[in-house]
Structure 1
């Protein structure tokens, strides 16, 4: 079951196809995917707890393409859907005039870029995403994994982790808070646990530990460790002996 509709802003008109039960609280939005390709993808899919939306045309009806009008149109669509989770799927080769604004808009829970999307790929994607939205994957564990993976690159800022997870900083922060956590606390916890593990290895120098944890100076690591453990890293290592 599907229906088509359109939405106009001052200079922009979005042409949209919607598939699925309007009571469903999870939506996947395809942006500027060919209509025939869209229906070939979804025609034989299993039943999922999703509403699937295609924005198949973004028509400029005024003299100029105005980003403000475009984003207002997208916001209208999100509000119209009235869902809890919205995933946007974009062709990786899409024009930057759409890609960057959509990515930074904060309208979606996450954004996926694809190069080639066939039926099997989409089937697997929706299955894994449904599993995630139902709590099948520990979200905080995924955040911790990303924090650990970029610690040695320097301070693991929220923007860095959000980019790795294909989320906007605002959405990532909100999701972490919904789990009863704070991003800064997760960074502190990961650094503390990693420091303790490395200090047990006598052949690892303190300066190398500091670098691995993303500190540019050994003294900064020492101060942070004292706030966690009540003693310096050197004193802690001696205590282990």
Structure 2
């Protein structure tokens, strides 16, 4: 009886195989999840690594408007690749290359650069005009930069951190702690159309900003970065203070 049951079971399996039925637990064709380093699709790489800061479609994010054709025209492939691979010191842009502690291979970084170019770069983005260079060619003069800020930025961003403009303050210490001079330059020259920020030709009525003015105002903004962003914090009282002294100490600070 046992042998008969065994033979019957084997026969059933054979019939199922001949009929093309899938056995329980047998994986279907193509269900394998690729290894992370094998993913080269731009949309997948961008969504997983860039969209959180730069926006789902390269715009409307907290960081650089990557989908801005003027930004794509301003930055060269080498500079873009370097930023992705090494990050940007003084900002929240991390390094993504494996050799720098990230998770992306060289091929994946190339795929990101090529994908952004294919999707967002447009010929003649500047209408035939030549913008200032992507990187500053010399150190800025912060003292001159203060005067540039007054004529090019204050009417929208406010004259001081305490007097905010309609476009929000860029003198807020917590904001300045998240950017560097290159961030300022990369915003001023191509602008940010996703948030209504004009390019370098629309900041000063009647003329475009010069390369030196952009360099100087970037230096001045960085000179306003506080040593301890977010300060002042509430005063911490000592155990020796009496109740009345604790209140007076808090009022002083």
Q: What's the TM-score, normalizing by structure 2?
A: 0.23
Q: Which protein, 1 or 2, shows the higher relative CO under an 8 Å CA cutoff with sep ≥ 6?
A: 2
Structure with greater Cα Rg: 2
